[in-house]
Amino acid sequence: MSEITLGRYIFERLHQLKIDTIFGLPGDFNLSLLDKIYEIEGMRWAGNANELNAGYAADGYARVKGISAVVSTFGVGELSLTNAIAGSFAEHCAVLNIVGLPSVNAQAKQLLLHHTLGNGDFTVFHRMFKNISQTSAFIADINTAPQEIDRCIRDAYIYQRPVYVGLPSNLVDLLVPSSLLETPIELSLKPNDPEAQEEVIETVEKLIKEAHNPIILVDACASRHNCKREVAKLVDITQFPVFTTPMGKSGINESHPRFGGVYVGSLSRPDVKAFVENADLVLSIGALLSDFNTGSFSYGYKTKNVVEFHSDYTKIRQATFPGVQMKEALNKLLETVENAVGPNYIPAPVPQQKLINSPAAPDALLTQEYLWTKVSSWFKEGDIIITETGTSAFGIVQSRFPNNTIGISQVLWGSIGYTVGATCGAAMAAQEIDPSKRVVLFVGDGSLQLTVQEISTLCKWECNNTYLYVLNNDGYTIERLIHGQNAGYNDIQPWNNLQLLPLFNAKDYECIRVATVGELNELFANPAFAVPDKIRMIEVMLARMDAPANLVAQAKLSERTNAQM
């Protein structure tokens, strides 16, 4: 074939990047486009239950595989994605947001089509998306379409942000040269300015040489911008204690002897707080310092000795080096840092986490404290662990991840319901990588209700690698802690959650309810339960106002900020 359709072209490009599941919903402006997915061996159309969930799924898939794609239809489909796409923008996830548009001809005539605002304006939704996209293309010309698509894929990957591509329904069947596919899309970062980088390395090494108590602090963008390997090496070579933020959790192997815990400003464990704030040098990697990630900006270390490595700049103390990207800078630093570690530095023992519960009677009711302490023992190397904004995202901070864990939590954007969709995306990505890889979701009963139908997609694809822990605490506990403990608006309609898997026609499944310490211990001790051979829902019964201590403290800080004059 010397020519292929434009529709096939875009999916071949994605296939080259190992994007083999495409998320989204059909709509009449994208149907011809979707036909092309079936032409490519090994590629599948997820067929989500709604667009918001599809967007969340694409975000989850991108966090596992580095980039993803979602397809929706003009107007009604794409607008349902805005929340998910904004989340991917805020949290640095590469999602190609492909929208099936009306034909070029219909647009030119300003036809009063369905799925329009009725005012002949066909660019309005594109304009809205520009606010939450790294770049975009509103394709109208078949001749430049392949380059435009390549540019969009490239920018999504490089910047790890969502990118909008509008494809008119009549263009997807037009032909483009298939030889274009022979040149891979250029995905490497542009090199740093050598002089600026040299100055950065020199200054950092000088600071390292002088430091007595240096630490490394790993945040979200280390994972998202593909620097986990560099961070691990830096720790190995320097033997500096390494901490993560809540959002950065899983950015470093937590079994590493130099791993010291999770730093959340004033909400950290006291030993972690003291250790971090006593540091005379902080090497911060990929920071995203939002309120929930920092205990409401309660960082206690001194900015005078902080080096911030970011995806697009470096900051040393008060000096900014625009364009010095962390990936290359860290690799450069790794070449010589061994010699920079000075005689002042004597590796001190790092704080140790409590991972064993105080003894409790088997019939004692489960608590958040017990759950989050116990759960570490059940995690396995390679797990993907997903925690919803709420008690889960805060509770998980006190667990320890095994090596090679992928942690997924929307700490900055914090859209409740996100994780159910993200679990779908992560589970389908895991199926592609290794079917024995477990995907473990912790979601509250309140958040589950927003996006529950995506469990149906897990059933459709027989994602038997998923464990869905539903923490049933009778409503929006995180909000009860912030404001309105007994307010009606924090109540939800109670559901019979364990009826969900049969309702959705799950094939191999198991439904379990645990309410006591004994039941949880038994479950985690059961080796059969640990084998990912069916979809499992585990409803964990917890008291209404029981919450991880760090969430209780954060909630108080948030209420104060919201009321502030």
Q: Smallest distance from the beta carbon of 418 to its own copies, in angstroms?
A: 8
Q: Smallest distance from the beta carbon of 499 to its own copies, in angstroms?
A: 5
At 474, the amino acid letter reads D
Q: Is 488 one of the annotated active-site residues of the chain?
A: no
Q: Is 166 one of the annotated active-site residues of the chain?
A: no
Q: Is 51 one of the annotated active-site residues of the chain?
A: yes
With DSSP H G I counted as helix, E B as strand and the rest as coil, what are the percentages for the chain, rounded to 5?
40, 20, 40
Contact stretch for its own copies (CB under 8 A) within 231-239, 367-375, 482-490, 515-523: 482-490
Contact stretch for its own copies (CB under 8 A) within 145-153, 226-234, 322-330, 445-453: 445-453
Among 192, 415, 431, 466, binds its own copies (CB under 8 A): 415
162: nearest Cα among 358, 317, 23:
23
Judged by CB under 8 A, the chain residues 70 through 109 that form the site for its own copies are 75-76, 79-80, 82-83, 86-87, 89-91, 102-106
Q: Is 15 one of the annotated active-site residues of the chain?
A: no
DSSP string, 163-214: EEEEEETTTTTSEEEGGGGGS----SPPPPPHHHHHHHHHHHHHHHHH-SSE
Q: Is 20 one of the annotated active-site residues of the chain?
A: no
Contact stretch for its own copies (CB under 8 A) within 46-54, 133-141, 341-349, 352-360: 46-54
d(CA 292, CA 459): 33
Q: Smallest distance from the beta carbon of 121 to its own copies, in angstroms?
A: 9
Determine the size of the site formed for its own copies (CB under 8 A).
Answer: 99
Q: Is 28 one of the annotated active-site residues of the chain?
A: yes
The strands making up 242-244's β-sheet, listed across from edge to edge, are 259-262, 242-244, 214-218, 281-285, 306-309, 313-316, 319-322
Q: Is 115 one of the annotated active-site residues of the chain?
A: yes
Q: Smallest distance from the beta carbon of 306 to its own copies, in angstroms?
A: 16
Interface with its own copies includes 562 (CB under 8 A)? Answer: yes
Phi, psi (deg, nearest 5) at residue 46? -65, -40
Question: Per-residue x/- marks for its own copies, 4-43, CB under 8 A?
Answer: ----------------------xxxx-xx-xx-xx-----
Give, in degrees to the nearest 5, the angle at Cα 520 between 515 and 521.
145
Judged by CB under 8 A, the chain residues 494 through 523 that form the site for its own copies are 494-496, 499-500, 502-505
Among 6, 58, 93, 113, binds its own copies (CB under 8 A): 113
Among 18, 114, 212, 302, binds its own copies (CB under 8 A): 114
Judged by CB under 8 A, the chain residues 141 through 170 that form the site for its own copies are 169-170
d(CA 316, CA 329): 13
d(CA 40, CA 44): 8
Question: Per-residue x/- marks for its own copies, 234-253, CB under 8 A?
Answer: --------------------
d(CA 155, CA 135): 7
Judged by CB under 8 A, the chain residues 281 through 340 that form the site for its own copies are 288-292, 297
d(CA 469, CA 287): 29
State the DSSP H helix or E strand holding residue 340, giving kind and residue range, or none if neither.
helix 326-340
Cβ atoms of 137 and 148 within 8 Å: the answer is yes
Interface with its own copies includes 460 (CB under 8 A)? Answer: yes
Among 303, 489, 508, 543, binds its own copies (CB under 8 A): 489
CB-based contacts of 23, cutoff 8 Å, min separation 6 = 46, 48, 54, 55, 57, 58, 61, 68, 69, 70, 71, 425
Which of residues 104 and 237 has its CB atom nearest to its own copies in the complex? 104
Q: Is 310 one of the annotated active-site residues of the chain?
A: no
Question: Per-residue x/- marks for its own copies, 171-210, CB under 8 A?
Answer: --x-------------------------------------
Which of residues 166 and 241 has its CB atom nearest to its own copies in the complex? 166
Judged by CB under 8 A, the chain residues 346 through 405 that form the site for its own copies are 389
d(CA 330, CA 227): 8
Q: Give the torsion sign (CA, 147, 151, 154, 156).
A: negative
Which of residues 322 and 362 has its CB atom nearest to its own copies in the complex? 322
Eight-class DSSP state of 352: -
State the DSSP H helix or E strand holding residue 500, giving kind and residue range, or none if neither.
helix 500-503
Among 476, 514, 547, 557, binds its own copies (CB under 8 A): 476
Q: Is 230 one of the annotated active-site residues of the chain?
A: no
Residue 558, number of CB atoms within 10 A of its CB:
19
101: nearest Cα among 68, 132, 80, 76:
76
Which of residues 85 and 340 has its CB atom nearest to its own copies in the complex? 85
- What are 187's two structure tokens? 């995905």
Interface with its own copies includes 45 (CB under 8 A)? Answer: yes
Which of residues 257 and 484 has its CB atom nearest to its own copies in the complex? 484
Residues annotated as catalytic are 28, 51, 114-115, 414, 445, 473, 475, 479
